[in-house]
Amino acid sequence: MLDKIVSTGKKATRDGFGAGLLEIGRRNPEVVALCADLVGSLKMQDFIDEFPERFFQVGISEANMMGIAAGLATAGKIPYTGTFANFSTGRVYDQLRQSIAYSDKNVKVCASHAGLTLGEDGATHQILEDIGMTKMLPGFTVINPCDYNQTKAATIAIADHDGPVYLRFGRPGWPIFTPDEQTFEIGKAITMAEGTDVTIFATGHMVWQSVEAAKILTKEGVSVELINIHTIKPLDETAVLASVAKTGCAVTAEEHQIAGGLGESIAQVTARHQPTPLELVGVHDSFGESGKPLDLLNKYGLGVDDVVAAAKKVMQRK
């Protein structure tokens, strides 16, 4: 199974968002979009060109954007907001909480440039806490797709989900390795490879890192189960528990703080139902810095080698 997972080229996940937004704009006339002065970065221009009357440039006022989106949703529209992940969450947390989550508003908070792989702009913009913040909000769905194709499919799928969604994606060109045409099922984990020795649960850009890690481990005779957790909330608990029942140990991998992330969600599920040795690959209570995406992943312990090492370590703990 792993052999068949290959990169067919590179594109950014944010490009997948732009393509998905255009597509869902064509399919659903209630979809509207807003942006806080980052149209180019969010790849929203194609939507704007085709549906200028359904797009609102809000300027550099993210709190206002979230409120306007909540208003549009109140009146039955399906608003997609676009800005960086940092400005989609931390900057507007109270707006997400009161005007959107607590008010049950059908707003799609679409967030680019998440995590270390934002790169050279540095730690001010490299948010590593956004999954935690959004998953704590009652009613919020939290999605972190892994490549261009999956991000496009997720962007389209969330329009049919009635409720607030946090859709997280990134800046850099990244391998494309999921099918061109795919149906995105919110909350349904995807088993990319079956194995019996160790499970790797990965999300976002770390799915590709984990594919590469799994290939190395396989060559060394380890039977790896690789599961793509694109939806962190609601978590596919059935898939998580079924896998660890088989493998008896797991690694989680995410471009996020260990605190509040995917690993923490999986630890919670396993602790409650089936205590399992876990190793968590992620950022350990620190900020990032300027640099190239892969260099940053390596420096902060999110490299392919780090996933391999975590797998070996956790297997020893069985």
Partner 1 sequence: MADIQQLQRITSQVRRDIIRQTNLASSGHPGGSLGCTDFFVALYFDVLRQDNAFHMKGTNEDMFFLSNGHISPVWYSVLARSGYFPVEELATFRQINSRLQGHPATHEGLPGVRVASGSLGQGLSIAIGVALAKKLNQDDHLVYCLCGDGELQEGQIWEAALFGNHYKVDNLILTVDWNGQQIDGANDDVITLGDLPAKWEAFGWHVLHMNGNDMEDVLRVLAEAKAATGQGKPIVILMKTEMGYGVDFMQGTHKWHGKAPNDEQMADALSQLEETLGDFPIS
Q: Could you say which DSSP state residue 259 is in?
A: T
The nearer residue to partner 1, 32 or 240, going by C-beta atoms, is: 32
The nearer residue to partner 1, 58 or 186, going by C-beta atoms, is: 58
The nearer residue to partner 1, 35 or 146, going by C-beta atoms, is: 35
Q: Could you say which DSSP state residue 101 is in?
A: I
CA-based radius of gyration for the chain: 19
Round to whole Å and give the CA distance between 61 and 301.
34
Round to whole Å and give the CA distance between 56 and 32.
8
**Cβ at position 71, least distance to partner 1 in Å:** 2
**Cβ at position 103, least distance to partner 1 in Å:** 5
Give the E-state strand segments of 76-171 in sequence order: 78-84, 108-112, 141-143, 165-168
The nearer residue to partner 1, 66 or 189, going by C-beta atoms, is: 66
> Which residues lie closer than 8 Å to 318 by C-beta, 6 or more apart?
248, 249, 277
Round to whole Å and give the CA distance between 248 and 246.
6
**Cβ at position 136, least distance to partner 1 in Å:** 16
**Cβ at position 65, least distance to partner 1 in Å:** 8
The nearer residue to partner 1, 26 or 102, going by C-beta atoms, is: 102
**Cβ at position 57, least distance to partner 1 in Å:** 9
**Cβ at position 97, least distance to partner 1 in Å:** 8
**Chain residues that interact with partner 1, rule: CB under 8 A:** 32, 53-54, 56, 58-59, 61, 63-77, 79, 94-95, 97-99, 102-105
CB 161 within 8 A of CB 192: no
Round to whole Å and give the CA distance between 81 and 100.
12
The nearer residue to partner 1, 29 or 275, going by C-beta atoms, is: 29
Q: How many angstroms separate the first and last alpha carbons of the chain?
A: 25
